[in-house]
Amino acid sequence: MKTRDEWRKDEEYVALVADLLAQPAVQKLANYTQHHHSDRLQHSLSVSYDSYRIAKRLHLDYVSTARAGLLHDLFYYDWRTTKFDLGTHAFIHPRVALRNAEKLTPLNSKEKDIILKHMFGATLAVPRYAESLIVSLVDDYEAQAEFFGPLKRRWQARMQSRRLVKN
């Protein structure tokens, strides 16, 4: 099991995203709850770092993967309460994130696709690149892990305490 701050020990990864992490607009993500048990910055870092590691292992563009993975949820509202007339959160927020990311840094076509298509499955926006699919799949995995992880740990602790009482 990876630790929450494992990414900090990977000097190459940190070098790739340091300029983005230094941006107040990225740091501001820490102020927003993402999946009940995590904030949006931590979620984005997890998606970015895990996607980077997969892309690197597969000899893909891990630089674009890391950077766009960090920016994929660059929006500033509570998605559970904010509603849009133009479509669902799954449809709207990738476009908002892309617009916000373009204000921070130049993006190549792969980075734009990663950000726009990271909700593949929930939307019909088919990823153009393998790196886009990786971020989409890792985003889904991280969302589930962030939501169910604390619940699973509480359940395991409860079961462990019952075993101790029984013995």
Residue at 41 is within a domain = yes
pLDDT in tens, 126-162: 999 999 999 999 999 898 887 776 566 666 667 676 6
Q: Cα separation of 138 and 59, whole Å? A: 17
Asked whether 99 and 80 are in contact (CB, 8 A), the reply is no
Question: How many structural domains compose the chain?
Answer: 1
Residue at 156 is within a domain = yes
Residue at 1 is within a domain = no
Q: What pTM does this model have?
A: 0.82
Give the domain extent around 33: 6-166
pLDDT in tens, 80-129: 666 656 666 566 889 999 999 999 999 999 999 999 998 887 777 899 99
CATH of the domain at 25: 1.10.3210.10
Q: Cα separation of 18 and 14, whole Å? A: 5
